[in-house]
Structure 1
Amino acid sequence: MYHDRYAARAFSMKESAVRALFAVANRPEVVSLAGGMPNIADLPLDIVGDAVRDMIQSAAGPRALQYGSGQGEQMLREQICEVMAEEGIRAHPDDVTVTVGSQQGLDLLTKIFCDPGDVILAEAPSYVGALSTFSSYQAEVVHVEMDDHGLVPERLREAVVTLAAQGKRVKFLYTIPNYSNPSGITQTLERRKAILEVAKETGLLIVEDNPYGLLDLEGGRLPAIRSMEHEQVIYLGSFSKTFSPGIRVGWVLAPHAVREKLVLAQEAATLSPPTFSQYVVSTYLRVHDWRQQITVFRDMYRERRDAMLAALPDYMPVGTTWTHPLGGFFVWLTLPEGIDSQAMLPRAVTNRVAYTPGTAFYADGLGARNIRLSYCYPTPERIREGVRRLGEVLNRESQLNRTFGVRHAGPHFGLAELNTPQPNQE
């Protein structure tokens, strides 16, 4: 009855590989290393609760419960500029548009820039939520190679030139330069400058997605790409990782002309981003030492990351490699030849551990030999146990390959140059 009535874009919509795992991964007996769910256990809920109660009972209460501006509340946009200043960005509140998480910001940008068949460049691998958004607007994703320094500028230039010669319209480059989801890789300062130079040479617009930028775990926080260029970089930010994902408040920093279109798109989508959520975030930023709170989060995530990096060499089979994230939530594994992460997932769940197969992070079928592991939510003890269980499954798969011969696991891009094989017991 409905099939013939759907718009063509509806057939491009696919279930998120991460969301599909939730029903299984949330079972208490399963150690989930799959989803990138922030751990808010260290958030001072008593302080937040008291502040929100006081706000509601104050003169601001009626305003917080009313319709708001399509661009977002002025006081929050001013505070967002203070947050972005931590990464070297000088911005004016007028150029900030508040969104329902940075995911909506990405959706609005794709809506206003992309027609069906337009091309979006994205690093390989790339964020699964972004790929879903691009697909829903019938855009073509072309991946650009990464190495241990991030996106490779030469490959970016080649992609832009080749696609132009084919008569295709490249609308923008999508990149997560800090602690990328899923690879955990960080673009070096030199690489950021080189990528920006390519963008200037070719007229390429950059969409910089930076949800993890303040969660550096080894110091040496790098300036955002947007801090180096105002007109050619659109910046996405979020409070989901540094405050609360349930509040669903993000933002887009864009040049004035783009901001006007974003506000129109926002008004068409939601009338206005939720005013109450904005007042909650604004109150939190005003009454709590949010910079110190980020330090608390960083210490907590560092402990979890270190637990995972310590467990991997103890339990992974020979031939497995992985990245060493300097921040964020994720480690990216490349598996031994012949192991297919998607095919192996049911056996891992049977062994009470969950992960996200690498194929979720490519638009072109790559990633069969890759796994994204998340260390942000489980305790260090659970992380080690989850890695142990995963190691059992991988060692069994490796044993089968040795017994019956290596099975082809499909094409992959493993970032192998990022790692050295770790000494291991079988």
Structure 2
Amino acid sequence: MTENSPVTPLSGPTVPDPHHSRYAARTTAMVPSEIRDLFAANGNPDVISLAAGMPELGALPLDTLSAQVAQIVANDGLTALQYGPAQGLPPLREQICDVMALEGIRAHPDDVVVTVGSQMGLDLVTRLFCDPGDVVVAEGPSYLGALGSFAAYQAQVVQVPMDGHGLVPEGLRAALRQARETGRRVKLLYTIPNFHNPTGVTLAVERRAEILELCRAHGVLVIEDNPYGLLGFNGQTYPALHSLDPDNVVHLGTFSKTLAPGLRVGWVLAPPTVREKLVLATETATLCPPTLSQTVVSHYLGAHDWQGQIKIFRENYQERRDAMLRALKAHLPPGCTWTRPDGGFYVWVTVPEGVDTRALLPRALAAGVAYASGTGFSVDGSGHRHLRLSYCYPTPERIREGVRRLASVLESEGERARPAAGAVTPHHGQGRSRTA
């Protein structure tokens, strides 16, 4: 490689990078996600974006929030605009414990570390546990932000199968056994058990204990990423993995989906020894999480009916989910199947044999609709027969029109499309999420 090897900037043409030879070796794994550029479609009125998982914030009590922010700055600005503790503000950590209690977690505020969104928590946990070459097991497909963090720390990701009931225990057992037989060390299991990103399925309750027992038996720490757990459409919550095995599960949470992502407030609940190292890692990364954002969230939780607000969000997302499912049934050509999520933001679509969703994306954009190709959610670039649709942000009317446009693009491949055969799963058929 030369000193001036090319690099593709966030926008614009490829340009030489004079710093290429100076970068650390681990940066070779840091590549743009397939979805990042699709966020730009949200600003284009001619394109209906079903790609990005952006919360719909129209139901937020903005008048209440603006009054609270003004009051905070006027009355407590000298504190709220100052540095704070690296672990996060104590009152907020107590309130986070109340939030987690809704999913069966009994936690102490001392074991909570506030982070700049749960993505920061995931990155810190990966930094603490993964040396280059260590193995992380994850669902296949999996959240692309997690795959990016694991790649940045040079971990090897092994993805195991899912079906309509979530992560398949036998697939996990086989992956752990194979890693042991080949001398590779599995450090982490990364999982999104509730309303999974990207498939929308939920891990069956009866599988949860089995998966935790497997991980404990093999000395594998479980990372439970739970951004959507309170967004079940029937109001039902599921027992958090942390509630079943608190000593071997690190729980990631966030207010990005139940309040607002722009505040960038998340948290990690970890065993005490892990917590101490997380606090040290936070100090080196940010010194402390933003005090003003934490204060805003804490005042909101203390003064507003936040559970009632979550109920409003659930109802809005359920309306959008229903609009998408009806549109898919009405418009998609034969051979297409999809999941039926009971919460969260996403539907996972399988297209007929011979259709490549990544190759088809430019045509979809030209037709005025954006989606996320399934290839971005797999470490090996597979997933060409899959795509993720997000129903969280567009209005029901835009969802219906977006699906109609998508269907017209898929129908242009009609002579190649044929009904899928075989088992029904999120990978190869209409694997539906299960209400356990």
Task: Tell me the TM-score range normalised by the shorter chain.
Answer: over 0.9
Match of 1:41 among 58, 62, 76: 58
Cα offset, 1:198, TM superposition: 1.2
| Aligned equivalents of 2:150, 2:314: Cα separation in 1 | 31
Residue aligning to 1:270: 286
Match of 1:188 among 191, 196, 204: 204
Cα offset, 1:221, TM superposition: 1.6
Q: Does 1:390 align with 2:406?
A: yes
Residue aligning to 1:416: 429
| Aligned equivalents of 1:368, 1:11: Cα separation in 2 | 24
Partner of 2:224: helix, strand, or coil? strand
Deviations 1:86-144, CA, capped at 9 Å, x for gaps: 10100000000000000000000011111111110000110010001111111110001
Q: Which has the higher helix share?
A: 1
| Aligned equivalents of 2:33, 2:90: Cα separation in 1 | 34
Q: Which amino acid aligns with 1:416?
A: G
Residue aligning to 2:116: 100
Q: Which amino acid aligns with 2:166?
A: G
Partner of 2:95: helix, strand, or coil? helix
TM-score by length of 2: 0.92
Partner of 1:55: helix, strand, or coil? helix
Cα offset, 1:51, TM superposition: 1.2
Whether the 8 Å CA contact 2:339–2:430 is kept in 1: the answer is no
Aligned structure 1 segments of 4 or more residues deviating by more than 3 angstroms: none
Using a 3 Å threshold, how does the CA distance of structure 1 residues 52 and 419 change in structure 2: closer, same or farther? closer
| Aligned equivalents of 2:254, 2:67: Cα separation in 1 | 23
Using a 3 Å threshold, how does the CA distance of structure 1 residues 303 and 417 change in structure 2: closer, same or farther? closer
Using a 3 Å threshold, how does the CA distance of structure 1 residues 189 and 415 change in structure 2: closer, same or farther? farther
Correspondences of 1:151-170 after superposition (within 5 Å): 151-170=167-186
Partner of 1:386: helix, strand, or coil? helix
TM-score by length of 1: 0.94
| Aligned equivalents of 2:432, 2:205: Cα separation in 1 | 20
Residue aligning to 2:11: none
Residue aligning to 1:423: none
Cα offset, 1:355, TM superposition: 0.2
Cα offset, 1:194, TM superposition: 1.5
Residue aligning to 1:424: none
Structure 2: gaps of 5 or more residues:
1-17, 420-424
Whether the 8 Å CA contact 1:25–1:354 is kept in 2: the answer is no
Whether the 8 Å CA contact 2:231–2:313 is kept in 1: the answer is yes
Q: Which amino acid aligns with 1:418?
A: G
Correspondences of 1:63-102 after superposition (within 5 Å): 63-102=79-118
Deviations 1:314-373, CA, capped at 9 Å, x for gaps: 111101000000000000000000000000000000100000000010011210100000
Cα offset, 1:219, TM superposition: 3.5
| Aligned equivalents of 1:25, 1:283: Cα separation in 2 | 31
| Aligned equivalents of 1:235, 1:286: Cα separation in 2 | 23
Deviations 1:72-99, CA, capped at 9 Å, x for gaps: 1101000000000010100000000000
Partner of 1:377: helix, strand, or coil? coil
Cα offset, 1:417, TM superposition: 5.7
| Aligned equivalents of 1:413, 1:47: Cα separation in 2 | 41
| Aligned equivalents of 2:44, 2:36: Cα separation in 1 | 14
Q: Does 1:208 align with 2:224?
A: yes
Partner of 2:159: helix, strand, or coil? strand
Q: Which amino acid aligns with 1:12?
A: A
Cα offset, 1:155, TM superposition: 1.1
Match of 1:50 among 67, 71, 75: 67
Whether the 8 Å CA contact 2:80–2:292 is kept in 1: the answer is yes
Cα offset, 1:24, TM superposition: 3.4
Partner of 2:253: helix, strand, or coil? strand
| Aligned equivalents of 2:77, 2:303: Cα separation in 1 | 16
Match of 1:16 among 33, 36, 44: 33
Q: Does 1:30 align with 2:47?
A: yes
Cα offset, 1:52, TM superposition: 1.5
Whether the 8 Å CA contact 2:163–2:427 is kept in 1: the answer is no
Cα offset, 1:26, TM superposition: 2.6
Q: Does 1:254 align with 2:267?
A: no
Residue aligning to 2:10: none
Q: Which amino acid aligns with 1:91?
A: A
| Aligned equivalents of 1:413, 1:383: Cα separation in 2 | 21
Deviations 1:206-229, CA, capped at 9 Å, x for gaps: 000000000001233211111111
Correspondences of 1:238-253 after superposition (within 5 Å): 238-253=254-269
Deviations 1:279-310, CA, capped at 9 Å, x for gaps: 01101111100000000000000000000001
